[in-house]
Every structure is written in C-alpha cells, then in structure tokens.
Amino acid sequence: MSLLLHHPFIFTNTSSLHTYKTPSLTLSHTSKPSTAKWAAKCTAAAVSSPDISKEDGVLVGEDKGRADVVDYDWTEEWYPLYLAKNLPDDAPLGLTVFDKQVVLYRDGNGELQCYEDRCPHRLAKLSEGQIVDGRLECLYHGWQFEGEGKCVKIPQLPADAKIPRSACTKTYEVKDSQGVIWIWMSHKTPPNPSKIPWFENFARPGFVDISTIHELPYDHSILLENLMDPAHVPISHDRTDWSAKREDAQALAFKVTERTDRGFAGWWGREAEKSTPNFLRFEAPCNLQNNREIVDKDGVTNYFSGLFLCRPTGQGKSMLIVRFGSTKRSPLAKLFPEWYFHQNAGKVFEQDMGFLSSQNEILMKEKVPTKQLYINLRSSDTWVAEYRKWMDKVGHGMPYHFGHSTISMPVEPAVVEHAPAGFVASIAASSPAKGGIDTKYAPNPANRYFRHVVHCKECRSVVKAFETWKNGLSAVAAISVTFAILLNGRQWKALFLLATALCTGGAYMCSTVVAMNTTNFIRTHRRL
C-alpha cells in the first residue's frame, strides 16, 4: 500500500482512465537513432545485437550530430531547501546546495532568514549558534545578526564604538511556496519569482499529501535517475508491501512529448496494456513529478501526484523532499498514522541505497560519459537517457555533471557510503543516539534516525513519546511482577501477573515502533 504512495509509478488498476490534460507541447529537437551497430563479446562466444538504428531495436537510439548546448547558470535557480513544517522553531539549521553552506532560521517576527553559514569574525559556523531574542547568535564570541545579515551586537566592542559595516554576513533569498522553502543561489542576478515551481495538483481543493524528507549517500543525478525509473520497483522493492511483486516486472512503453532547455515530459505505462496513463515531467534544476488522473464510477476526476524535489548537498550526497498526495485517499490508508508512511519511505530508499552508492563510486572511478557505461533499453530506460541527454545541454553551467555524451568531473572525490547488511549492521543500527559500533555520540550515517527522523518534527515526537511509554510500561511491569511474587493470595498473584504481561507486551510494541523509526533496513534476499 505505501509503495503506492512512495513509488507513484504503481497505481491501482481501474477500468476508466481519464485523459491527462496538458498544454500544447512542442519539441525543441527531434531524436533520431544513429546507424551504428552494437556488439558484445562474452567469454564463451561473441554475439552481435540487432541494428539499433531500426525502430524496433531494443536500445535507446543515439541523436545525430552534436548535442545542443544552452545558456545555463546553476546559481540562477530556486532549489528546494526544506519542508517549512519541519524547520526548527528555536534553533538555526545548517544546509548545503552543492558546495555552498547556508544557515536557515525564523527570526523574532516569524520571517525566514538565510545567510552564508559562517561568521565574518572568525569563520565559525552560524548553524552551530542559537536564536536569542529573534536574532542569530554565533556561539564563538556572541556576535548577533538579524534581517538582511546585519550585525547588531558585538559584546567585545566598547560601549561607544560602532559596529563595522564589514561585520555583516552574506544573505540568500528564500521563499515559502506550497509548504516548501526555496532558495535562490545567485548573488549576481536578482531572484526571479517566476522560476519558483508551482505544482497544480497540490493546489486543488481536497488534495491531501504526505511529505517526508531524507538524506541519501549518492549524487542527486543518480537519485533522479532512480526516481524516474519505474522498471526497478517490482525487483528492488519486491514484497516490501502489497504493491510490488517481482513477477510484475515487464516491458514499459514511453512517449516523449516535450523537450525544452529546462527539461522534458511525456507519458508512460505498461506495454502489455497498450496505454500510457502516467504523466512524468522533469524540470530544472532538480524537480520531478509523476501524475495520473482517474475517473471514478460517478464521473468525478481524482488526481494523484508524486513529487520529488532533489537537492544536491555535496559530493556523493543529496537531500530528497518526497510529497505524495491525491484528492481521494484509500480508506485503508486512513487507518495508519502518518509516521508509519514516513518510516516505510525510509525503508524503500534504504533498499536502493547499496547499489546506488556503488553506481556513484563507478561513475567517479571510470570518468567517462554514461553512454559508454549504460545499456539503456527503450522498454525501461527512456527517461534515464532523456535526463542524461539534458545534462549534455546544461552541464557546462553546473559545478560538475555526468552527461550522456559529455562529462565534467567533480573537483573533490565523492563521499560514498555502502548500505550495511547482516548481523553487524543490525547491531550498529540498534543504538542510533551513540552512532553504533566503535563510535560515541557521533551520527551513524547508515541509520534511518539520521537519514530522516532528525529532519522530521512528527517522527521525532513519535520516537520520544514511544520511548517514554516503553520506559513507563517497563517500570510498571517490574513493579507488578514484584507484587506477584510477594503477595500470597492466588487472585492477587493472577491479577498482577496479568498486569505484568500486558505491560510487557505494551513495552515491546513501543520498542518495535522506536526500532521502525531508528534502525536500518537489512535486505533479505528472497530465494525463489
């Protein structure tokens, strides 16, 4: 069920599908397959594949000529910074966009403020500071900042001295739109409000969404590839819930209807069903949505949407805001608390973590464009090929990129994390607050607590509440069993033993909920 929410590529089958309405679409260029032939040699024999220039070839065709290059500056974009509901009320928050470190907070008037994450005095991180009377204070020497980065207090100055103008900090423009905080990264070009994405479905009457946020150990481009790849869901997430089954893996059909300098869009569906009811759109710099409309038996159109907002957070790292919603929810989904869907989303992303981080490692090691490494099938990888070809257009205006035919390597090597597996991983995941084995009081980057819960107010409160209940019930169970031992009356013994059993069971349930929110998902490979 929650794979339906967390992977919108899988929707409940219905007999009546509504035609998705989109504006008139134009193609900026036409893709034509090349006449090259592809051959692969195996150890036992050499086998030549069919000519991929044919329309019925199994591989995605190559474009003729040189890829279009367009004007692009990665800083002149709005990046999804954080979910507004999860921004701390009483502390600054340190975040990154590519290699730029920023600090975000709400001032005394409730206004969003965003600065470069370093104090102009001695370069200490302002995100390590605190909020004092609505101002951001550096904890190193107590300098305080407000509004447009103006320094308003330096405790070490004489009473009659003026604060130097150079004490101000660099600011960034931020906006709250549809519950997401966006940041404009350019200091050369004024913010362009028209570039802030607007998602129509999320503004519809009755539309309800579940939003989560996750830190992930691989490049944002690999994350986007994974999210626009419906073919992996039945295999990677087999039996995670009732939605994904490996026997449902099959050929898919894709229809690209729009290519622009800022992305692409089109339809997709299962080839066997001879329809493409799902509409996917990728838009610069890192926004992906997958939508569908379904008409019910009463003729009412219901809207379903999966929105993925991916922010690059450094070499080999990314942060993902996931928003799934609809104008009609399943009655069964209403029975589950929201934190359940949050932890299940974490489980889904952890299932992909191992092979996506290893993919990141190979791209960094090989240092060649993806067309020399990938085998893109028409029936599964069309969106992946489109995305990497879009990178060819704009990669020159990014800090680094891995394009289909071009590449610009990062200056710094990527931070690569492999998802742990087995007994040792389960032990390391059992103590998230202490970071796991051989570390003390340090974040465990492989743990769900540090990937999601630290960024989610609701899940933090759930973990805290269930920890409190677990400790309380355990204490009551200990007291009950003590009375059961000390008392002589048979009825009293039975009563206190029953209370002990109930409290022990309740403590176990609370412990299970805490574990769901704070431990790793350990993959168990199915043997068919």
CATH number, domain of 310, equals 3.90.380.10
Tokens of 390: 């879009």
Q: How many CB atoms lie within 10 A of CB 526?
A: 8
CA-based nearest residue to 217, from 444, 442, 58: 444
Are both 104 and 180 inside the same structural domain? yes
Structure confidence at residue 38 as a pLDDT band (50, 70, 90): very low
In-domain check, residue 41: no
Are both 338 and 390 inside the same structural domain? yes
Contacts of 307 (CB under 8 A, 6+ apart): 199, 202, 209, 287, 288, 289, 321, 322, 323, 324, 325
CATH number, domain of 124, equals 2.102.10.10
Are both 180 and 202 inside the same structural domain? no
Rounded distance between C-alpha atoms, residue 378 and residue 341, angstroms: 33
Count of structural domains within the chain: 3
In-domain check, residue 141: yes
Pairing type for strands 93-97 and 278-283 reads unpaired
Q: Can you count the helices (H) and strands (E) in the chain?
A: 9, 21
Are both 398 and 312 inside the same structural domain? yes
Per-residue model confidence as pLDDT tens digits over 270-326: 999 999 999 999 999 999 999 999 988 888 899 999 999 999 998 889 999 999 999
The pLDDT assigned to 445 comes to 62
Are both 376 and 460 inside the same structural domain? no
CA 461 vs CA 451, 468, 514: distances in Å? 16, 11, 11
Mean pLDDT in the chain?
84
CA 99 vs CA 61, 398, 400: distances in Å? 35, 12, 11
Per-residue model confidence as pLDDT tens digits over 119-168: 999 999 999 999 999 999 999 999 999 999 999 999 999 988 999 999 99
In-domain check, residue 107: yes
Are both 400 and 466 inside the same structural domain? no
Are both 256 and 368 inside the same structural domain? yes
Which amino acid makes up residue 174?
V
Residue 144 sits in which domain range? 78-184
Per-residue model confidence as pLDDT tens digits over 236-257: 888 887 678 888 999 999 999 9
Contacts of 108 (CB under 8 A, 6+ apart): 133, 134, 135
Q: 151, 184, 217 — which closes off a domain?
A: 184
CA 382 vs CA 247, 271, 320, 346: distances in Å? 22, 13, 22, 26
- The strand order across the sheet containing 144-146 reads 130-132, 135-137, 144-146, 150-153
Look at 523 and 79; give whichever has higher pLDDT.
79
Tokens of 347: 């489980």
Mean pLDDT of 8-35: 37
Which amino acid makes up residue 481?
V
CA 188 vs CA 172, 185, 209, 314: distances in Å? 11, 9, 36, 22
CA 155 vs CA 103, 118, 158, 165, 170: distances in Å? 22, 18, 8, 16, 21
Rounded distance between C-alpha atoms, residue 248 and residue 17, angstroms: 21
Q: Is the pLDDT of residue 52 over 50?
A: no
In-domain check, residue 67: no
- Is there a contact between 432 and 445 (Cβ–Cβ < 8 Å)? no
Rounded distance between C-alpha atoms, residue 141 and residue 126, angstroms: 11
Q: 125, 156, 184 — which closes off a domain?
A: 184
CA-based nearest residue to 517, from 439, 434, 450, 420: 450
Per-residue model confidence as pLDDT tens digits over 502-521: 999 999 999 999 888 887 66
Task: List, in sequence order, every beta strand (DSSP E) within 18-127.
Answer: 39-41, 46-48, 78-83, 93-97, 100-106, 112-116
Are both 282 and 361 inside the same structural domain? yes
Per the listing, tokens 């890192």 go with: 286
Q: 152, 184, 216 — which closes off a domain?
A: 184
In-domain check, residue 423: no
Task: List, in sequence order, every beta strand (DSSP E) within 74-179.
Answer: 78-83, 93-97, 100-106, 112-116, 130-132, 135-137, 144-146, 150-153, 173-177
In-domain check, residue 151: yes
Are both 180 and 281 inside the same structural domain? no
In-domain check, residue 13: no
Are both 226 and 150 inside the same structural domain? no
Are both 174 and 201 inside the same structural domain? no
What's the predicted TM-score (pTM) here?
Answer: 0.85
Are both 522 and 493 inside the same structural domain? yes
Per the listing, tokens 């926004």 go with: 287
Per-residue model confidence as pLDDT tens digits over 185-215: 999 999 999 999 999 999 999 999 999 999 9
In-domain check, residue 309: yes
